[in-house]
Structure 1
Amino acid sequence: MIRAFVYDPKTKTSQSGGEELIEMWKQSDRNIIWLDIEGKADEHDNALLAEFGIHPLAIQDALRPRHPPKIERFQQFLFILLRGLDADTNGINSGTIQLSCFISPRFLITRHAKPSASANWLFDQLEKDPSLIYDGPGALAIRLSNRLARRYVEILLELEPRLDEIEEEMFKSPDDTLLAELTGYKSRLRKLTRTANYHRDVAMALRSHDEPLLADSLVHEIVDLYEQIERTQTLANMYYQICNDLTDGYLGMSSHQLNRVMQLLTIITVIFVPLTFMAGIYGMNFEYIPELGFKGGYFVLLAIMAVVAVIQVFYFRRKRWL
């Protein structure tokens, strides 16, 4: 799917539509276009990118399913590759998509294989308020990147209440499903941290280099982009540490419970050792055992066994082992 938004700076008019607007854009050197390409790559999309003068290596990087975020300056355009959240994001357990941005003085081309909530949001905002494109394609790219970064912060903040619930549940009714859930969160947070590291490098490059395609008025939005990415990194690291602490706490509680069970079983075994010893002596098959002739011997032995068991229980309780 290809959608487009064309703006004429002279007449201050704009129009949204599809691929047919490319011809309208070509009619004047003043016109600015945002071309958003969605879906799996095909020969038509590649030819369209080549028509706009996109370098073959940039096209190759944009079409790779797994490529780290990057920023690269070509002679005619600026290439920014980001990793965003897909449109079906549901909290921390969300998928990611490659979002490529090709920025030149007259066009912004975005490319993603799956629907992008960030691109959809910006396109809707642009249709409501066309003035967002007045600062040029670079401004749109920065605002798109800002929205992408904010979505990471939003899903991370949604995780905090769930971690509080897990902490409470661990003390009430520890369960292996909680451990599995925490392990899943740790894996996802590691990936988010890695993505945030790449995004931070991109934002730092935008901050530290004077880019002619980005207006001076965008300096605060670029700083905000860097801060959002840095916050994403900080939150991901913090929540990973919380998950790690909760996992250690759960394993510690499980180990403590196991130790209590083993302690109880050990005490029961210790109590029965002398009783088994006495039962074993009088259960031997010798022909002559003097005590066997004693009329009340059976009851005396039971009494001795009971006294020994009570003494042991009393001793264990006094030591706080029971």
Structure 2
Amino acid sequence: MARNTQRWKHRKRSLRRPQTLGTAPGTLVVDPQSSAMVIRAIGYGPDGLDERILASADDARALLERWPVTWINVDGLGHAEALQQFGKVFGLHPLALEDTVNTHQRAKADDFGDVLFVTSRMVQGPPLLSEQLSLFVGANFVLSFQEDLSGDCLDPIRERIRLGRGRVRTSGPDYLLYEILDAVIDGFFPVVERFGEELDELDSGLTTRQITTRPGQIHRVRSDLLYLRRIVWPHRDMLQMLLRSSHTRVSPETMPYLADCYDHVIQLIDILEVYRETCSDLRDFYYSQLSNRTNDIMRTLTVLSTVFLPMTFVAGVYGMNFEYMPELRWRWGYPFSLVVMGGVGIAFLAFVWRKGWLERWDKPPGGPRDHDHSTTGD
């Protein structure tokens, strides 16, 4: 429970503005809760690769001069001086660095001349955890910034680079950009599928004889799905911008791959819309079942009250303290009154039973009467 609460707080923290209002554009105000910075670099080409941990941005110069493509991944955004050093080495725009530090950004693509700036969001869960991923694409490098060291979905790309699988080692930085965006978007599908399984469990809890689903559970899933929808929708606009723009950092050969990535985003949006409507239907179904159960209880209590009403009348008649009553001094008066009350109650119960007023609203069809009726046709 403590771990889930920590993740929930992290998700809320990732959507707030850490900078002070009124600061100058391009000012880097880091979040004091950010993790320590760890820099991992992979320089690669068709003939090999070089993977290492860097101490600072200046250590990347050797990789940039030697390899056709260099991928530098930075985990942690807690050092403003180190981020400014990256801006000097790679020629990054101050506004792009400011958006990198302010991790409330929606997915987007900005053209800063020689460098293409792209932001995306990675997710894990449930419980839902979101993290901003900032990407800078230059002539021979891809620079990625992540919020912390909680892990990412990019390990398959690193493994393909190490083993030389696919076309990543023979392609430029724009193809690496596609690989990263594709991995991020594909990471949404397992999260969305787990929410689908949870919706199936909630639906099963509503259709059982005893309602085990609570409205708070449905509201929590619906809230998470709305949050996912809020994250996924900007990815569609970001990919549309990449497909429509003529940025020199994205080659025509990479465009079909980005279009396939765009199709995956559309699939995610369709699934999220269906699940969101399912949550609304489950909530309406829950209250409908709750109302039906309340009606069953009130009907049963009403029938019982009506059954005892004539008994109360008989008991009231014989309970009056008049001196002259026909059965007052009769030897069998007391048993007679009990028999009258019991007979009236049994007769009324039989009448109610034949009318079907005591049957449950959710009783499964195909009872004994239906079976007998179906077998008497011959």
Match of 1:112 among 126, 129, 146: 146
- Mapped pair 1:45 → 2:73: no
Equivalence map 1:290-309=2 (5 Å): 290-309=326-345
**How much does 1:93 deviate?**
2.6
Give 1:213-224 correspondences, 5 Å limit. Answer: 213-224=249-260
Unaligned residue ranges in structure 2 (runs of 5+): 1-37, 359-378
1:22 match: 60
Matched, 1:238 2:274: yes
Q: Partners in 2 of 1:221 and 1:146 — Cα distance?
A: 9
Contact 1:189–1:236 (CA under 8 A) maintained in structure 2: yes
1:64 aligns with: 102
How much has 1:58 moved relative to structure 2? Answer: 1.1
2:117 equivalent in structure 1: 79
Measured against aligned partners, the alpha-carbon deviations of 1:121-161 in whole angstroms (never above 9, x if no partner) come to 32232222285143222211111001110111232234444
- Structure 2 Cα separation of the partners of residues 162 and 43 of structure 1: 41
The number of equivalent residue pairs is: 315
| 1:129 partner amino acid | G
Give the letter aligned to residue 83 of structure 2: N
User: 1 CA distance for matches of 2:284 and 2:53?
Assistant: 54
Q: What residue is the counterpart of 1:126 in the other structure?
A: 161
Asked if residue 96 in structure 1 is aligned to residue 134 in structure 2, the reply is no
Distance 1:206 1:24 in 2: 30
Please name the residue that 2:365 is paired with. Answer: none
1:62, 1:299 → 2: CA distance?
Answer: 91
- Over residues 58-107 of structure 1, what are the superposed CA-to-partner deviations in whole Å (9 max), with x where a residue is unaligned? 1111111322222211123111111112xxx34x4330100001111122
Distance 1:171 1:134, change over 3 A: same
Stretches of structure 1 lacking an aligned partner (at least 5 in a row): none
Q: Distance in 2 between matches of 1:320 and 1:76?
A: 79
Structure 2 residue aligned with 1:257? 293
Name the SS of the counterpart of 2:113 in structure 1. Answer: coil
Equivalence for 2:234: 198
Question: 1:98 is matched by which residue type in structure 2?
Answer: Q
Q: For 2:162 and 2:262, locate their aligned partners in 1 and report how far apart those are by CA, in whole Å.
A: 27
Deviation of 1:57 (Å): 1.5
Deviation (angstroms), 1:169: 4.1
Contact 1:153–1:228 under 8 Å retained in 2: no
How big is the alpha-carbon RMSD for the aligned residues of Structure 1 and Structure 2?
Answer: 2.4
3-state SS in 1 of match to 2:248: coil
Checking the alignment, whether the CA contact within 8 Å between 2:39 and 2:74 is kept in structure 1 is yes
2-side partners of 1:271 and 1:69: how far apart? 67
Distance 1:93 1:27 in 2: 43
**Identity %, equivalent residues:** 24
Q: Distance in 1 between matches of 2:322 and 2:178?
A: 97
- Secondary structure of 1:79 counterpart: strand
Secondary structure of the corresponding residue to residue 303 of structure 1: helix
Residues 168/321 of structure 1: CA separation in 2 closer, same or farther (3 Å cut): same
- Could you tell which deviates more after superposition, 311-320 or 221-230? 311-320
Distance in structure 2 (CA, Å) of the matches to 1:15 and 1:158 = 37
- Describe the shift of the 1:116–1:222 C-alpha distance in structure 2 as closer, same or farther (beyond 3 A): farther
